[in-house]
Amino acid sequence: MATTKNSTTPSGDRRVRRTHAALASALIQLVEEQDLSRISVAHVAERAGVSRPTFYDHYRDVHELAEAACTAMIDSLIELLPTPGPDAAAPERDSPRSLEAFFASLAEHAGLYNALLGPQGSARVIDHIRRRIAAAAYHRVHPADDLPEQAGARQDIPHDVPATFAAGALIGVAADWLQRGRPRTPAEMAALTLPLFNALYCVAPPE
């Protein structure tokens, strides 16, 4: 997704990771206090305890930082989605609880997600989420080891209408829920959403 300005810096460098984490944390705090459009590089740098030149060593602007922070969190959220089939390795995730955790995580950082998934949001973030959810849905029905081993294989899936439909639907539901101020609880959203997944994939039926 978002490519940091200093692309020559080794990604495993502990200082780089600490700086990225500090900047992301600062932005997440700030976006809960005010609109993303009102947040400047100076605001983020001050909150993170770094200089403006240090910020620009890693990101071009606040929007790029927001995209990077959002997609990193989304990649973790994808792991919370339901696992299909009665023979799933993690049956505890075959329930509304997994989707409840997904919506709860969205709610925890609602300011950032709402800014990037809303009408004035980031097309790159939305596309990333769509691809990640579609890949997760596909590979839970068609195990990844059935596909050629290659870089990016988990996202570059074959054309699959149910997986793509499920991804687009979940993004739409999540974005609408955030924009409306989360009128339902994460548990209610999970209970309403899981049957829709059941209609497309063999997720375990609700109790």
pLDDT of residue 49: 95
pLDDT of residue 101: 87
What are the distances in angstroms from CA 195 to CA 108, 166, 205? 24, 12, 8
Chain segment 93-136, per-residue pLDDT in tens: 455 778 888 899 899 989 899 888 888 888 888 888 888 888 87
pLDDT of residue 40: 95
pLDDT of residue 66: 93
pLDDT of residue 2: 44
With a cut of 50, list the residues of the chain below it in pLDDT. Answer: 1-3, 7-9, 11, 85-93, 145, 147-153, 203-207
- What residue segments make up the domains of the chain, in order of their start? 14-59, 67-200
173, 175, 176, 178 alpha-carbon torsion, rounded to 10°? 120
pLDDT of residue 62: 95
The CATH label, of 2.130.10.10, 1.10.10.10, 1.10.10.60, 3.40.50.150, for the domain at 14-59 is 1.10.10.60
